[in-house]
Amino acid sequence: KTASKKTASKKTARKTTVRKTARKKTARKKTASKKTVRKTARRTTSRRAGGRKTKARAKSKARTLKPGARLADRALETTTQRFALVSRLIARAFAQRLAPKGIGYGQFPVLLCLWDEDGITQKTLSERIRIEAPTMVRTLDRMERDNLVSRVRSITDRRQIHVRLTEKGRRLKNVLARLSSDVDKIALAGLGRAGHQTLRVLLGRLIQNLEQDIALDV
């Protein structure tokens, strides 16, 4: 009987311990749940506050704009930015016309120079087009692959490489010249002959100014 009582007492103690453990787990879960709710509430509040700040900044920027002005216009306020945009638009318009002929936009200036003077050195070509030597090498690699030009090392000076047009490159002259003329007409529409001449003079001056600036940096 005594042993039976002890066994019963142990079972009761175990049940009590299990109940206490279960209560503790339940309490922990409730505490964790409350913490999660608080964190979520904080995040939501933070997001709302951030949204309000963003809207406030946008309103502040909008107030600084002149009546009727747009952000896109503000991005093009400087003359240099407008020139950059014109350059990109011309490049896009010309590239669209060159693509069906299998010519890249960067290859056209090379062809122009070689149509004017075939067989000049790679270095001279790079200087006339005003692009760096590594870029010129990559461009000529593609053009040679497409059978537009060939490169021949000089007999008198092995360091010099001459670039010559292939028959295919020569045949493209008239076709590509017409495409270039078409883009010119589109871009210069409405300027008139006098406006065109004035623009050429001004662009020449800009080129001179910028090249002098680059020379000073070097």
Q: Tens digit of pLDDT per residue, the chain (218 long)? A: 455 545 555 556 566 665 666 676 666 766 666 666 576 667 666 666 555 655 555 555 544 445 444 545 555 578 888 888 888 999 999 999 999 988 999 999 999 999 999 999 999 999 999 889 899 999 999 999 999 999 999 888 888 899 999 999 999 999 999 999 999 999 999 988 899 999 999 989 988 898 888 776 54
The predicted pLDDT at position 130 comes to 87
Q: Which residue has the tokens 């100014």?
A: 209
What contacts 165, CB < 8 A, 6 or more positions away?
111, 114, 115, 118, 148, 149
Q: Which residue has the tokens 């010559």?
A: 164
Q: What angle do CA 19, 20, 22 make, to 5 degrees?
A: 65
pTM of the shown model = 0.59
What contacts 183, CB < 8 A, 6 or more positions away?
90, 93, 94, 97
Helix intervals (H) in the chain:
2-64, 71-75, 79-98, 108-116, 122-129, 133-145, 167-187, 192-217
Phi, psi (degrees; rounded to nearest 5) at 68? 85, -5
